[in-house]
Amino acid sequence: MPVDNLVSIQIPQETFDEVKTAVDLIVTKLQPFIVALSADERKNLAKMSDKTIPFVEKTLNYAESDPEFAPAYLNVDELKIDMKAVGQLKAFFLPLEQLNANLDDTILLAGSEAYVAALAYYNSVKQAAKMNVLKAKTIYEDLSQRFPGRKGGAKPPAQE
């Protein structure tokens, strides 16, 4: 039964090089301004979502126009800096997040097609090895290492 080939991507080397250079430039330029948090650090932080942003913006406006209500420990200038950073970083993040999701989907699809094709070849070699076809046993033994503990005719999973 033929398998649909839903994706067949051949990125020209020049395009690959240009995009890789652009990505490297983005990483290099943003590196001084970004941080990496552990899972525990992320879990313990208050989260500002899209619904919370208007509240924080309005609070900042009030803190600037009516500073007498700001507690002594609140640094309004730092609040303003943080909000500006959120706005600037979201301008990069949102399109990159969509790009990342599309890249992930494309990698998943291309990888799935490659894995299904490899399994088809593997199963053909496996049958040939059972029939004592020359060279098939050597190829089968090499490829079957991917599926340890599945000797005796056990079928590899469709995807792993």
Largest interatomic CA distance in the chain: 88
Read off the pLDDT of residues 67-101 as tens digits, 9 standing for 90 and up: 999 999 999 999 999 999 999 999 999 999 999 99
Burial of 113 (0-12, 13-18, 19+ CB in 10 A): middle
Residue 12's CB is within 10 A of a number of other CB atoms, namely 8
Q: What's the pLDDT at 22?
A: 97
Residue 3 lies in a domain: no
Q: Please measure the distance between the N-terminal and C-terminal CA atoms of the chain and give it in whole angstroms.
A: 21
Q: What's the pLDDT at 131?
A: 97
Residue 51 lies in a domain: yes
Q: What's the pLDDT at 4?
A: 79
**Total count of domains within the chain:** 1
Residue 125 lies in a domain: yes
Low-confidence ranges of the chain (pLDDT < 50): 153, 160
Q: Domain limits at 113?
A: 13-146
Q: What's the pLDDT at 158?
A: 58
